[in-house]
Amino acid sequence: MCGIVGAAAERSVSGVLLEGLRRLEYRGYDSAGMAVWSGAEIQRLRREGKVQALADAHDDTPLTGSTGIAHTRWATHGKPSERNAHPHMSGSAIAVVHNGIIENFEALKADLTSSGYAFSSDTDTEVIAHLLDRAMQTGLDLTQAVQQIVASLEGAFALGVMHRDKPGELVAARKGSPLVIGVGIGENFIASDQLALLPVTDRFMFLEEGDIALLTKDEIIVWDKVGEPAERAVSQYEHSVTSADKAGFKHYMLKEIYEQPAVTHAAFEDRIKDGLVDESAFGEQAAVIFDQVKQVQIIACGTSYHAGMIAKYWMEGLAGIPCHVEVASEYRYRPVVISEGTLFISISQSGETADTLAALRDVQDQILASLTICNVPASSLVRESDLNLMTNAGPEIGVASTKAFTTQLVGLLLTTLVLGRRFKLSQEKEREIVALLAQLPGLMEHAIKMDGSIEEMSQAFAEKNHSLFLGRGTLYPVAMEGALKLKEISYIHAEAYPAGELKHGPLALVDKDMPVVTVAPRNEMLDKLKANLQEVSARGGELFVFAGCSQEVQPGEGIHVLEMPEVPEVLEPIVYTVPLQLLSYHVAVLKGTDVDQPRNLAKSVTVE
């Protein structure tokens, strides 16, 4: 969702800006633009559609200059179009890129219009450019003007600003939306995330809420939210540059699916000590906080919410820990009752999801403590939580989350074990589960080896418009995740149901045009699930079953069975996710959709 790149350098920055935009494509966007200070003026280039369209336009009309800002826009206010693409300008003097939403933009626009400003877009962002112009007319310099006007902005924003008469200066501001500073040698940068800047630097400074920064090629000056000069530490990027590349795979999503044996291993390997989970991995205060936990509230969105749903089965089933799970966008807007001793767990691959972050901020004063399970160490959720567990999945570029999800599950299982000690989970049981974790990478590998058979199976879906996913127990959220993957990237309508609900509605939809996908490990729910499969079969529905044992679920007319490896029950949701990821991937490839950047979706949803 909206991406910002900016650079103040000695060299011409257009190439850095375009490469940065390409690297932000995964966040989701529908138009792109850039502005470069070149001598006496700011030159701007914008295009609806892909960054490639902007790059092609740039080939025809190159922008040359040593200071610039660029942006990928995911439309909120005003449809995707060139006139709504960023950067937005006030006259020819000020250029602004913005990520977030200015909630009071209508009032600000009315005020600016009455002061004589004319608007050339439908965006909320354009008010920022004109507000800056008006502030600078009173004699303020660019940084002072940004400091003044951000006080009047309601909502969330990350900003990059430049002015025709301030050569070499770039001003950045951040409140509620992510923005990092890349520290170079004789050049400095801003971006929505580190990935955008990896070709030019591996040293980063993270702005805090309300910070404003002035960048030139030689220096970075930061002021905090009350306008006091502030020091922000510079840290080194930890992953290799190539971990953010496709490594020979056709799509990032496929590469990320194939990385799961390694990253699920990385998610637990350093957290085990003497056969038990080492709770210091959650933070220094972990033991003191965990001792006081009476129940758990999990909050998340999208795929991360499905991870939370699985964790609820573990927390209550394995460990007897009362556990509630809710999507952040609902939780944050309803009156909630928070019981004493609540550990608030937010799950987020990006650590920047606006609703999840807002939910955490809203309850900070009422909870025992917060724990974030996250893939981005420097993210807002991590920085604002008492405890953290990193999922160690490495950069995930495909919008449809895969390895981030399965590593979240590993993190949640570890969390269940450390909390479970304080509830009904015996040390013996914990040892047993920890020992089983060692099998996980091999089982993930085995599931990935089914890729060829799943690719064949995918042909049955390419012409369909609807599909149903069924599961029971922890495999119900896995079915939900499978359905979400299919709709996200193949645009086929997919619904998931707990198999026991089949008779209460979805059975009415079952016919030969409605493929039914079922995850059916050999566990205690299998007999019940088999009865549900009979109900589908009897109505002419075509079944695709990922089964723990093909002797238990016999293939036949309209029943396709793919045999999964034998999986210990506690690991089933992690391993059974893999074939569903591969199925959606191959269906999307057959349909020719944009697998890594599906239409209308964003990787990091930093606005509501």
**Contacting residues toward ligand G6P, per CB under 6 A:** 301-304, 348-350, 353, 356, 399, 401, 601, 603, 605
CA angle 186, 191, 193 (to 5 degrees): 120
Residue 18's CB is within 10 A of a number of other CB atoms, namely: 21
Q: State in angstroms the smallest separation of the CB of 3 from ligand G6P.
A: 14
The pair of structure tokens assigned to 209 is 């809420």
The residue among 33 and 302 lying less far from ligand G6P, judged by its C-beta, is 302
Complex with ligand G6P: residue 111 or 362, whichever CB lies closer: 362
Closest-approach residue to ligand G6P (CB): 302
Nearer to ligand G6P, 359 or 457 (CB): 359
Residue 59: burial class (beta carbons within 10 Å; 0-12, 13-18, 19+): exposed
Residue 495 CB, nearest approach to ligand G6P (Å): 18
Q: Name the β-bridge partners of 471.
A: 498
Q: What distances in angstroms separate CA 414 from CA 82, 119, 233, 291, 479, one per listed residue?
A: 48, 53, 31, 16, 22
Distance CA 100, CA 103 (A): 9
Q: Where are the alpha helices (DSSP H) in 347-402?
A: 354-363, 380-384
Smallest gap from Cβ 604 to ligand G6P, in A, equals: 6
Task: Give least dist CB 353 to ligand G6P, A.
Answer: 3
Interhelix angle for 126-137 vs 105-114, to 10°? 50
Q: Write the CB contacts of 337 (distance below 8 Å, at least 6 apart in sequence).
A: none
Cβ(192)–Cβ(179) below 8 Å: yes
Helix (H) or strand (E) holding 346: strand 342-348
Nearest distance from C-beta of residue 349 to ligand G6P, angstroms: 4
Judge residue 335's burial from the number of C-beta atoms within 10 Å of its C-beta, 0-12 exposed, 13-18 middle, 19 or more buried: exposed
DSSP-assigned letter for residue 194: G
Burial of 279 (0-12, 13-18, 19+ CB in 10 A): buried
Q: Decide whether 67 or 304 has the Cβ nearer to ligand G6P.
A: 304
Q: Which of 24, 21, 15, 32 is nearest to 66 (CA)?
A: 15
CB of 375 to ligand G6P, least distance (A): 8
- Of 254 and 433, which has the nearer Cβ to ligand G6P? 254
C-beta closer to ligand G6P: residue 188 or 349: 349
Tokens 């900070």 belong to 364
Report d(CA 353, CA 603) in Å as an integer: 9
- Report the residue number, 393 or 450, with the smaller CB distance to ligand G6P: 393
Are 74 and 29 spatial neighbours (Cβ–Cβ below 8 Å)?
A: yes
Which residue's CB is nearer to ligand G6P, number 350 or number 518? Answer: 350
Cα 186 from chain centroid?
A: 32
E strand intervals along 54-187: 67-73, 88-90, 94-102, 155-163, 170-175, 180-183
Find the DSSP H helices in 174-301. Answer: 252-258, 260-266, 286-290
Beta strands across the sheet bearing 295-300: 323-327, 295-300, 342-348, 369-374, 387-390
Least distance to ligand G6P, CB of residue 504, Å:
28
Which C-beta is closer to ligand G6P: that of 449 or that of 599? 599
Least separation in angstroms between CB 78 and ligand G6P: 22
Give whichever of 9 and 328 is closer to ligand G6P, judged by the CB atom: 328
Alpha helices in 115-180 (DSSP H): 126-137, 142-150
**Contact call for residues 289 and 369 (beta carbons, < 8 A):** yes
Closest contact distance (angstroms) between CB of 240 and ligand G6P is: 22
Minimum distance, C-beta of residue 475 to ligand G6P, in the bound complex (Å): 19
Catalytic annotation, residues: 2, 603
Q: For residue 123, count CB atoms less than 10 angstroms from its CB and return exposed for 0-12, middle for 13-18, buried for 19 or more.
A: buried
- Spatial strand order of the sheet with 203-206 comes to 41-48, 31-38, 67-73, 3-8, 188-191, 180-183, 203-206, 234-236
The nearer residue to ligand G6P, 159 or 373, going by C-beta atoms, is 373
Q: How far is the CB of 119 from ligand G6P (least distance, A)?
A: 31
Helices (H), 30-178: 51-60, 105-114, 126-137, 142-150
Answer yes or no: are the C-beta atoms of 71 and 47 closer than 8 Å. no
Q: Alpha-carbon dihedral of residues 442, 268, 380, 364, nearest 10 degrees?
A: 130
